[in-house]
């Protein structure tokens, strides 16, 4: 007897599968400020800095022009080829031009998040590959220092056949070796969360926290973090709702420290939550969707940080969309705040607190 044919589940079908969300206890204002070091009531759209990873076309100073062209408030770039072990040295004129353009643009270096090469693997059990990764990172951090930048973003690596504990220890050992080289200046290593496929570290926030814990205490203040929305969602942290975003941000701030999370990569996901696949999609067109990004664009943990797009673009439209979310969230927050501040005067309910000022003047 033939088995009945099972209908294939499409990606659209998977997106329609809704798991019941567990409610989270709301934080008091004091608890929230203590966790994020930001007063949500004082946030405005101008506190959010979306940008994108821009091309350099061989000249690093061109990245600034490309960022301006798309209306970016922050940007990322490669300081050398991401797909070769060799590190190219910039010309003196390129270094000077980059600094001059940055000064003219009046962008704080904290909103620039350069990305290290893809071959770097701090957790590799292969001593040769790990050594090459350490050397490559030192040279890239030296470049960042020369360009006047503060950070270098990198994935933590994959431990292959090592246990998780062994992989984390290997990664921390590599980071220690990098920091021991004075050519790195005061540049910080920014570890990025990942989708957590296979032996890749960073799928769990605990991975990042544990790596930092194992780094030499004298270097720990130079180990910071970047959260990628696609990676986090694919790793199992559901960011498709306001509740999901709040839950993830609380976990991240608790485990990593809000002040140590210095940037985000903003990407939607082509695959469902917990797929462990790194497939970027345009903002609000994937399994995170509009609700998730609206929540992210008015959250204390994403404020005053670079929010870097790594989608196919067009970036100018996506930056405009994200700022639209922020402005609408600000307007909604102001309305809610106004509603909460209704007061009674002479037995009457005053709908608009500004009316009180008018009557008293």
Residue 276 annotated in active site: no
* Span 263-293, pLDDT tens digits: 999 999 999 999 999 999 999 999 999 999 9
Parse the chain into domains and list their residue ranges: 25-360
Tokens of 156: 């933590």
Q: Catalytic pick from 53, 222, 250, 265?
A: 265
Tokens of 254: 């608790």
Tokens of 139: 């040279």
Indicate the average pLDDT of the chain: 89
- The pLDDT of residue 120 is above 90: yes
| pLDDT above 70: percentage of residues in the chain | 86
Q: Catalytic pick from 32, 36, 53, 115?
A: 115
Q: Which of 11-25, 144-158, 313-327, 328-342 has the lowest mean pLDDT?
A: 11-25
Q: Catalytic pick from 32, 140, 142, 192?
A: 192
pLDDT band at 8 (very low <50, low <70, confident <90, very high): very low
Residue that has been written with the tokens 């940080």 in this structure: 305
Q: Catalytic pick from 3, 12, 30, 83?
A: 83
Residue 233 annotated in active site: no
Residue 333 annotated in active site: no
What pLDDT is recorded for position 342?
45
Q: How far apart are CA 356 and CA 361, in angstroms?
A: 9
Q: Catalytic pick from 13, 37, 84, 118?
A: 118
Q: Which residues contact 72 (CB under 8 A, 6 or more apart)?
A: 50, 51, 52, 54, 315, 319
Residue 238 annotated in active site: no
Give mean pLDDT, residues 124-131. 97
CATH fold, domain 25-360, is TIM Barrel (3.20.20)
Residue 47 annotated in active site: no
Q: Catalytic pick from 155, 233, 250, 299?
A: 155
pTM: 0.88
Q: Catalytic pick from 140, 210, 278, 330?
A: 278
What pLDDT is recorded for position 58?
81
Give which of 11, 49, 81 is closest to 271, Cα–Cα: 11
> How are beta strands 151-154 and 348-350 bridged, if at all?
unpaired
Q: Is 346 left (phi over 0), alpha (psi -120 to 50) or beta?
A: left
What pLDDT is recorded for position 358?
38
Residue 237 annotated in active site: no
- On whether the CB atoms of residues 196 and 159 are closer than 8 A, the answer is no
154 to 49, 199, 237, 323: CA distances (angstroms) = 21, 16, 21, 27
Residue 37 annotated in active site: no
What pLDDT is recorded for position 31?
97
Q: Catalytic pick from 181, 274, 290, 310?
A: 310
What pLDDT is recorded for position 24?
86
263 to 74, 226, 354: CA distances (angstroms) = 10, 5, 37
Q: Catalytic pick from 53, 130, 136, 231?
A: 231
Q: Report which of residues 284 and 19 the model is more confident about.
A: 284
Q: Report which of residues 19 and 62 the model is more confident about.
A: 62
Residue 328 annotated in active site: no
- The pLDDT of residue 16 is above 70: no
- On whether the CB atoms of residues 187 and 230 are closer than 8 A, the answer is no
What is the per-residue DSSP string for 244-293? HHHHHHHHHHHHH-GGGEEEEEE-EESS-TT-----EE-TTSSSSHHHHH
Residue 108 annotated in active site: no
Q: Catalytic pick from 280, 294, 299, 305?
A: 280
How many angstroms separate the first and last alpha carbons of the chain?
Answer: 88
Q: Report which of residues 93 and 340 the model is more confident about.
A: 93
What pLDDT is recorded for position 355?
39
166 to 157, 210, 211, 213: CA distances (angstroms) = 12, 11, 11, 14
Residue 231 annotated in active site: yes
- On whether the CB atoms of residues 143 and 186 are closer than 8 A, the answer is no
- On whether the CB atoms of residues 158 and 169 are closer than 8 A, the answer is no
């Amino acid at each position: 007897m033939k088995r009945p044919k099972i209908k294939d589940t499409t990606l659209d079908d998977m997106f329609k599968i809704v798991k019941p969300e567990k409610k989270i206890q709301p934080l008091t204002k004091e608890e929230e400020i203590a966790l994020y070091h930001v007063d949500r009531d004082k946030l405005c759209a101008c506190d959010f800095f979306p940008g994108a990873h821009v091309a350099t076309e061989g000249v690093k100073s061109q990245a600034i022009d490309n960022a301006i062209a798309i209306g970016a408030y922050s940007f990322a770039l490669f300081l050398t080829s991401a797909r070769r072990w060799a590190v190219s040295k910039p010309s003196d004129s390129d270094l000077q031009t980059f600094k001059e353009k940055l000064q003219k643009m009046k962008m704080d270096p904290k909103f620039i998040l350069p990305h290290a090469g893809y071959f770097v693997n701090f957790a590799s059990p292969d001593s040769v590959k790990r050594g090459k990764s350490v050397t490559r990172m030192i040279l890239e951090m030296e470049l960042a220092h020369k360009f006047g930048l503060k950070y270098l973003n990198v994935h933590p690596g994959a431990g292959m056949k090592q246990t998780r504990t062994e992989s984390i220890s290997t990664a921390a050992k590599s980071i220690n070796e990098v920091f021991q080289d004075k050519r790195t200046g005061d540049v910080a290593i920014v570890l990025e969360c990942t989708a957590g496929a296979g032996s890749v570290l960073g799928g769990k926030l605990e991975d990042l926290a544990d790596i930092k814990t194992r780094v030499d205490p004298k270097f720990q203040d130079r180990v910071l973090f970047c959260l990628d929305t696609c990676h986090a969602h694919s790793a199992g942290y559901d960011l498709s709702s306001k509740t999901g975003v709040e839950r993830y941000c609380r976990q991240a701030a608790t485990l990593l420290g809000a002040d140590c999370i210095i940037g985000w990569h903003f990407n939607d996901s082509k695959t469902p939550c917990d797929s462990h696949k790194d497939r970027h999609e345009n903002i609000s067109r994937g399994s995170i969707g509009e609700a998730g990004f609206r929540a992210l664009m008015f959250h204390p943990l994403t404020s005053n940080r670079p929010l870097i797009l790594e989608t196919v673009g067009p970036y100018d439209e996506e930056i405009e969309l994200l700022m639209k979310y922020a402005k609408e969230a600000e307007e909604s927050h102001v309305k809610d705040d106004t509603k909460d501040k209704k007061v009674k005067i002479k037995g009457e309910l005053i709908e608009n607190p500004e009316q009180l000022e008018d009557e008293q003047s």
